[in-house]
Structure 1
């Protein structure tokens, strides 16, 4: 019998486990018969072995057929069948073309073979042979289903363990940014919530003596593909900013655009990444982003956006000032290598509130009309709660966002940043 507990407790990698679970691991000992056995003798064998579903028929050590218990008993129960066939060879009621698989065949290939052969193999079982095609034992559909199920569960476990660890790595990349934000700002929030365990949103902050640089990025995709892109961006951002370029967010966007396009080969129309000899797939990955330099000494801010706006709520004013970004994303194939984003300078006064968000909140479908949450609703909520601390404002927005989403599927990662100038 199969030792399923060994699969449950295994700490090996999936490839190692799959290499252990081959056709031989499904093999059961079974009584066998030969063409010389009569149908009466087969009835006796089946009566003595009630666990047997398929009874192999061998000739000189080679399997020539398989007798199904149910079919055989039904045939022998028909009128006059025992009188006619009882003393004749059992091959009269055997399946002459059972599924035969080599002992080294992978479980995946065995399952494909079983599916191709139809439902009868799941019921009857299949013959397992050695390299010389000699009979070794029999496999059952029940055992095959069990192993496939356990391997699938093990695969899911290993994938989830990897994703959980990847989440730890992704969060660790943002830890220093959180530390810099906390040291530079008194009243702020930074909410980062991937749709899945890991995500395609990323934020970066680096402090300097006279201010700080903040970047909020929405990379292509979400989940594992998006997380891979954030790691690429994180590696670039970590070496991007120097004392001489920290005040130029547009220049930083241009520089990272060139780095992304070069790294991913998104430079010319001839760029293709071969996936299959007869297929080609073009890489078209990048990010939408908002980069800001906050000059705390001189009370001003420089903003550059790649398809991402900046929301400003001046102290004492009744409404927002929305500063739109440029209409090109970073790194994509339709963004020129030398594309130049635009810096926009915003004067800051004490109490001014600044907000950045990726499109996870704005684009979320929900509400009675099943429409997007939208920028207008976001700004109305912030206006309603403007006298609260920034953390309380964030909590109020997210509470409304979750209620608005309701039973709708989450569309994207959510990243939301805000601070009050002091």
Structure 2
């Protein structure tokens, strides 16, 4: 029986019908595989074409962004040159003070901080200001501030420190207040400190809008604080206090914006703070002013240690006598 079944199976496989069916199956399978491979190839080519188009579009957009970024950077660099031209020139400052430094570090290319040095009628004028914001908005405000302080001191010949701030406030009110709406179109303000020093008596007048002045004498630091109000913070009737301090030979004055003290960094990512700023200024006050500027830069660089700069920085150091 087993032998008979085996013989029948062999004959069945030798049947032309079975062979034909097998051949048809193989052909169909091969055709299916070929079609499937062709379909996969088409899908792959389509996907590659889409990716190539996408990459081409990305390259085009990247090129456009690079052009726009270059145009923006070029514009900002030109704005920086304009801003630098408005600030007192170094040769002008050297005619007034032989011993000074200016640590000036914008957050972006242009700065919302500005400073002013001038001499008139036997008096020295030193000012430091911090406009609200940084970058382009702060820089535009600082250019307005520079033009106004030049006008107030040199043209209007205002000699009292509190009146300089008050006049600045009125001039900004005139520029930003619109009668039709009855509202100010700009509500941002300027933090500012100003010292006016009589060359003969060495009496210094100081007024500040938030910003103070530090005076170092005989390894001691004295602080005269500013009022807790901005210039142009309010267009209502405002006033500023005026303090006096008699300077001596070798006294050092430090005026600054809040950017240095507010910078985050250190091992715990905290603000530098005014306490540290007072300590470092008192510590380095015995060094030449050029070295003081370098130490201030190295100190804040070490403090930041990978953290982004959050605001414009400015510190002025002056030895009037």
Secondary structure, counterpart of 2:87 in structure 1: helix
For residue 173 of structure 1, what is the aligned residue in structure 2?
86
Deviations 1:383-407 (A, max 9, x none): 2222211222222222212111111
1:325: Cα distance to partner?
Answer: 0.2
CA contact (8 A) 2:153 2:159 kept: no
Q: What is the TM-score when the length of structure 2 is the normalising length?
A: 0.80
Provide the C-alpha distance between the structure 1 equivalents of 2:105 and 2:68, rounded to a whole number of angstroms: 26
Secondary structure, counterpart of 2:67 in structure 1: helix
Structure with a larger share of its residues in helix = 2
Selected match of 1:183 from 67, 91, 95: 95
Is 1:288 paired with 2:191? yes
1:142: Cα distance to partner?
Answer: 4.6
Provide the C-alpha distance between the structure 2 equivalents of 1:391 and 1:266, rounded to a whole number of angstroms: 46
The gaps in structure 1 that reach 5 residues or longer are 1-73, 82-119, 126-139, 274-282
Selected match of 1:148 from 61, 68, 73: 61
Provide the C-alpha distance between the structure 2 equivalents of 1:410 and 1:349, rounded to a whole number of angstroms: 36
Selected match of 1:261 from 173, 197, 201: 173
CA contact (8 A) 2:195 2:206 kept: yes
- When Rg is computed on C-alpha atoms for both structures, the one with the higher figure is 2
1:240: Cα distance to partner?
Answer: 1.4
Pick which of 183-192 and 235-244 moved more: 235-244
Selected match of 2:35 from 70, 77, 81: 77
The gaps in structure 2 that reach 5 residues or longer are 1-31, 40-46
Gap change, CA 1:196 and 1:266, over 3 Å in 2? farther
Selected match of 1:327 from 219, 228, 234: 228
Deviations 1:108-131 (A, max 9, x none): xxxxxxxxxxxx9x9399xxxxxx
1:209: Cα distance to partner?
Answer: 4.0
Is 1:224 paired with 2:136? yes
Secondary structure, counterpart of 1:202 in structure 2: strand
**How many residue pairs were aligned?**
285
1:272: Cα distance to partner?
Answer: 6.8
